[in-house]
């Protein structure tokens, strides 16, 4: 595996064909983002090029003829290589090419370049793409069962936190037992494997993992903490789960209709990097009230969890073991294993043992005062108090409607319909970012619509099986592709098969359910921070230094935090003693929000939606970005490949074409074919 970080991506050749303009308009150098646009011939750099501003002329870099072909060209290239090496650790012999990948610099007396992989068996279009690629395995690569198996396991282990953490949050909030948590975890793994196979085969066909998204977590918590469920004691978990199932099924059906009707191909014209970035970032920032307050219940364990994650992912990120950067790739599982082992040693050493106190006795019972004082630390710090692993069967097959018949109510369904729209926006950003890594061209509008349609059907399956959340493309998957350099579709499909097999082993779900909640919170602090950063990283496809974009993103982020805070705090007395934990109080807004019309369902929908940070971020960013004038380059608008162009390019058809001749059968359907 390569030891270098993923290279920064520059405007690629497909963008030039579709209206990409290399010059920024409407901004001065003070707002320049620092991107450098290279001329078509890298040996003849533009004499106006300056590495700091990209515009100032430097006559000293030109030769006597003024054409920049002499010593000045080599100097420009050397300075550029040095700057890239200093900034991202790129190797000394690489310079950016016209499509954002690494090429050998075209210096004199350079030996001929070694033939790229498979160049003798691919057409010209594929040859060009492979020559520029920096991935170990590309979209359609299948080097053999063993390497594909190793990479598939690596890929899924590195993204383990995104797959398992949501059930560990919502099931206890629903009043579920450890046994029910184990069942939900196994169901999530099963549905994730099945839906990933569907998406990589009939959806966008990009190597993207489908799973429970954090986009669905906030609305799920809002439904869980609804007033009508607060007084339930008997079968509370099943009542709430059936309500979530009904809402997810209706909302996902709306998403499938959005994709397969072709409306999504029209809607994506309003979705640009300036809209996607604050929307995804707001998803991560919205859970700040849950993360560290739970970590603080056992600060010596939770803080170590966070520190280990930071050290592995940042300070040790360039350390390679047998050619694999294991600390960066496996930061989450390594952090969990190290912290769990440390907590186990403290527990066995008797640090959390108190004379005459038993953790199995509920805190509400009549117990001595000194035990009641230590009950919280015993509950959150000890790692031997979980019975989930012992009570789980060895074999269990997740089946649909295992929690009963779903309940359908319009007020929760309407909330999920809006959330499915936000989920689609998140997925569009993931499609675009991953295609720049592994595919020949970005997905066409038809492929985008097809992918969203399959995601809607996948979420319907998640609702039928009862995972508690919808199924969508995991945003963290894009970062995993860039780090592992594994972009093979077959590797992701094989990993999905492994995931289905693991879901049938009940002990696996029981083991995951036994993770102490303080460690879950520590992992979530890291995952939500990563999600926020990944959202903001989409700004690199636009002119990030533009004053227009700075103001839009700034307003979107601020109002995404401030407006929901107004709704969440409205009507709550400072001295009120609510029956729900403090970290769940932001999600009870439906019963006390500022909307008080005579229609109860409308009050529920509006109070809930305007209390969700991602909804506010999306509305503010979408309205401003589509009404404030700005150039295509400034906004990051790339006119995606038209269907007629895609049909003339074999690489696009090979990357995104449906299998089993399905594409030819539905060639007349624009949002199913290319």
Instruction: Specify which of 217-231, 382-396, 600-614 reaches the highest per-range mean pLDDT.
Output: 600-614
Share of the chain above pLDDT 70, in %: 72
Compute the mean pLDDT over every residue in the chain, rounded to the nearest whole number: 77
Burial of 403 per CB tally in 10 Å (0-12, 13-18, 19+):
buried
φ and ψ at residue 631, rounded to 5 degrees = -70, 165
Lookup: tokens for 181: 């948590």
Q: Region 605-610: what's the mean pLDDT?
A: 92
Burial of 372 per CB tally in 10 Å (0-12, 13-18, 19+):
middle
- Strand-pairing partners, residue 472, are 211
Place of tokens 């003339």: 648
- When mean pLDDT is compared across 84-88, 284-288, 604-608, the lowest value belongs to 84-88
Place of tokens 């350079």: 110
- Strand-pairing partners, residue 505, are 395
Share of the chain above pLDDT 90, in %: 29
Distance CA 54, CA 24 (A): 10
> Residue by residue, what is the 3-state secondary structure of 447-477?
HHHHHHHHHHHHHHHHHHHCCCCCEEECCHH
Lookup: tokens for 19: 């209206």
DSSP 8-state code for residue 505: B
Distance CA 543, CA 554 (A): 15
Per-residue pLDDT tens for 548-579?
999 999 999 999 999 999 998 887 766 555 66
- When mean pLDDT is compared across 178-192, 389-403, 420-434, 475-489, the lowest value belongs to 475-489
CB 640 within 8 A of CB 443: yes
CB 96 within 8 A of CB 102: yes
- When mean pLDDT is compared across 390-399, 486-495, 639-648, the lowest value belongs to 639-648
- What pLDDT is stored for residue 383 in this prediction? 81
CB 657 within 8 A of CB 674: yes
- What pLDDT is stored for residue 322 in this prediction? 76
CB-based contacts of 535, cutoff 8 Å, min separation 6: 276, 277, 278, 279, 280, 281, 282, 283, 284, 429, 475
Distance CA 263, CA 250 (A): 18
273-285 and 547-569 are packed helices; what angle lies between their axes, rounded to 10 degrees? 40
Nearest to 96 by CA among 11, 162, 168, 178: 11
Asked whether residue 228 carries a pLDDT value surpassing 50, the answer given is yes
Per-residue pLDDT tens for 646-671?
666 777 777 888 887 776 776 667 66
Calculate the alpha carbon distances from 652 to 194, 422, 430, 493, 664 in Å.
25, 27, 18, 20, 15
- What pLDDT is stored for residue 617 in this prediction? 95
Burial of 335 per CB tally in 10 Å (0-12, 13-18, 19+):
buried
Place of tokens 């009870």: 588
- What pLDDT is stored for residue 554 in this prediction? 95
For the four alpha carbons of 588, 592, 595 and 597, in that order, the dihedral sign comes to positive
Asked whether residue 281 carries a pLDDT value surpassing 50, the answer given is yes
Instruction: Specify which of 17-26, 50-59, 152-161 reaches the highest per-range mean pLDDT.
Output: 152-161
Lookup: tokens for 467: 């995972």
DSSP 614-645: HHHHHHHHHHHHTTS---HHHHT---PPPHHH
Distance CA 428, CA 259 (A): 12
- When mean pLDDT is compared across 174-178, 184-188, 310-314, 346-350, the lowest value belongs to 346-350
- What pLDDT is stored for residue 182 in this prediction? 92
Distance CA 97, CA 86 (A): 18
* Helix H or strand E segment including 481: helix 476-484
Calculate the alpha carbon distances from 533 to 333, 421, 500, 539, 552 in Å.
20, 21, 30, 10, 17
Per-residue pLDDT tens for 414-462?
999 999 999 999 998 899 888 888 876 788 888 889 999 999 999 999 9
- What pLDDT is stored for residue 488 in this prediction? 87
Asked whether residue 354 carries a pLDDT value surpassing 80, the answer given is no
CB 339 within 8 A of CB 308: yes
279 CB neighbour count, 10 Å cutoff: 29
Burial of 338 per CB tally in 10 Å (0-12, 13-18, 19+):
middle
Q: Region 223-233: what's the mean pLDDT?
A: 81
pTM of the model: 0.76
Ramachandran region of residue 100, left (φ > 0), alpha (ψ -120 to 50) or beta? left
In 365-425, the DSSP E strands lie at none
- What pLDDT is stored for residue 578 in this prediction? 60
């Amino acid at each position: 595996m390569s030891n270098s970080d993923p290279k920064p991506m520059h405007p690629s050749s497909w963008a030039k064909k579709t209206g990409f303009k290399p010059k920024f308009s409407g901004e001065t150098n003070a707002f320049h983002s620092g991107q450098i646009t290279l001329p078509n011939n890298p040996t003849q750099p533009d004499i106006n090029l300056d590495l700091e501003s990209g515009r100032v002329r430097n006559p000293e870099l030109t030769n006597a003829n003024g054409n920049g072909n002499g010593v000045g060209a080599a100097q420009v290239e050397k300075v550029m290589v040095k700057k890239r090496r200093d900034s991202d650790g790129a190797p000394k012999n690489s310079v950016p090419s016209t499509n954002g990948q690494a090429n050998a610099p075209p210096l004199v007396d350079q030996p001929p370049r070694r033939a790229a992989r498979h160049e003798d068996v691919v057409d010209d279009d594929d040859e060009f793409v492979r020559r520029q690629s920096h991935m170990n395995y590309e979209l359609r690569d299948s080097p053999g069962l063993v390497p594909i198996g190793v990479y598939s396991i690596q890929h899924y282990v590195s993204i383990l936190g995104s797959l398992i953490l949501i059930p560990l949050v919502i099931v206890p909030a629903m009043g579920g037992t450890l046994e029910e948590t184990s069942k939900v975890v196994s169901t999530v793994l099963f549905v994730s494997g099945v839906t990933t196979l569907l998406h990589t085969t009939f959806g966008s066909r990009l190597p993207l993992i489908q799973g429970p998204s954090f986009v669905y977590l906030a609305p799920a918590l809002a439904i869980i903490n609804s007033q009508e469920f607060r007084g339930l004691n008997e079968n509370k978990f099943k009542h709430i789960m059936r309500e979530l199932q009904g809402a997810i099924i209706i909302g996902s059906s709306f998403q499938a209709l959005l994709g397969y009707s072709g409306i999504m191909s029209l809607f994506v014209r309003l979705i640009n990097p300036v809209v996607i970035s604050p929307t995804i970032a707001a998803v991560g920032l919205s859970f700040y009230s849950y993360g560290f307050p739970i970590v603080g219940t056992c600060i010596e364990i939770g803080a170590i969890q966070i520190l280990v994650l930071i050290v592995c992912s940042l300070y040790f990120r360039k350390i390679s073991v047998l050619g694999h950067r294991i600390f960066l790739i496996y930061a989450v599982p390594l952090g969990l294993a190290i912290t769990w082992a440390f907590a186990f040693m403290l527990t066995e050493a008797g640090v959390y043992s108190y004379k005459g106190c038993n953790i199995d006795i509920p805190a509400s019972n009549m117990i001595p005062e000194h035990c009641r004082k230590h009950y919280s630390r015993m509950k959150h710090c000890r790692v031997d108090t979980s019975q989930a692993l012992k009570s789980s069967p060895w074999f269990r097959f997740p089946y649909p409607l295992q929690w009963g018949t779903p309940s359908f109510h319009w007020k929760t369904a309407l909330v999920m319909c809006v959330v499915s729209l936000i989920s689609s926006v998140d997925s569009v950003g993931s499609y675009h970012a991953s295609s720049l890594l592994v595919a020949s061209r970005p997905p066409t509008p038809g492929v985008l619509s097809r992918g969203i349609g399959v995601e809607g059907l996948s979420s319907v399956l998640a609702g039928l099986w009862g995972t508690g959340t919808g199924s969508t493309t995991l945003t963290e998957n894009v970062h995993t592709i860039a780090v592992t350099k594994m972009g093979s579709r077959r590797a992701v499909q094989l990993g999905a098969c492994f995931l289905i097999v693991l879901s049938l082993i009940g002990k696996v779900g029981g083991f995951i359910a036994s993770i102490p909640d303080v460690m879950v919170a520590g992992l979530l602090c890291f995952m939500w921070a990563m999600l926020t950063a990944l959202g903001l990283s989409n700004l690199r496809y636009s002119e990030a230094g533009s004053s227009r974009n700075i103001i839009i993103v700034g307003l979107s982020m601020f109002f995404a935090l401030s407006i929901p805070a107004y709704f969440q705090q409205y009507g709550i007395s400072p001295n009120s003693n609510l029956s729900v934990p403090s970290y769940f109080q932001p999600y009870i807004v439906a019963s006390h929000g500022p909307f008080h019309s005579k229609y109860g369902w409308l009050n529920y929908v509006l109070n809930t939606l305007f209390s969700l940070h991602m909804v506010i971020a999306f509305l503010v960013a979408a309205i401003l970005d589509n009404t404030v004038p700005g150039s295509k380059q400034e906004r990051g608008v790339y006119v995606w490949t038209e269907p007629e162009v895609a049909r003339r390019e074999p690489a696009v058809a090979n990357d995104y074409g449906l299998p089993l001749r399905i594409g030819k059968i539905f060639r007349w359907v624009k949002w199913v074919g290319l």
